[in-house]
Amino acid sequence: MNDPVAIVVIALIAAVVFSVFYLMKSKHLERMAKIESGMIDQDFKESGNLILNVGILFCSLASGIFISYLFSIYTDIPNYVTIPGFLLLFGGIGFIISYTLSKRNEN
């Protein structure tokens, strides 16, 4: 385990984990302070929309990967060309769908 690359990778992973933990803890403390002072936070209302938006995005990206795989099988275009294009296309479609659903839920 004297490999310097492994030590750097482990240190970076530890730094990322610590940073995410610190951010989550500070956000939790901020929310608790808002609750104690009686302020209504919009983040509580929109947390369900965030999960919905992430789910729609992941589903659209997965379908983009599947369609690009099928497209590369049935045509002569290689995978490294079709995958980024279809990921961007279906990711954009997923964002449009999540935006329209969010606007519909607001009304």
Whole-model pTM over 0.95: no
Q: What percent of the chain has pLDDT over 70?
A: 89
**pLDDT for residue 41:** 63
* Dist CA 86 CA 74 (whole Å): 15
Question: Closest by alpha carbon to 83, among 57, 54, 63?
Answer: 63
- The residue behind tokens 């009304």 is 107
Cα–Cα distances (Å) from 26 to 20, 23, 33, 48, in that order, read 10, 5, 11, 21
* Dist CA 25 CA 29 (whole Å): 6
Neighbours of 86 (CB within 10 A): 21
For the chain, the average pLDDT equals: 85
Taking only the tens place, the pLDDT of each residue in 15-66 is 999 998 998 899 888 888 888 887 766 656 555 677 788 889 999 999 999 9
Q: Mean pLDDT over residues 76-100, rounded?
A: 90
**pLDDT for residue 86:** 93
Distance of CA 13 to the CA centre of its chain: 19
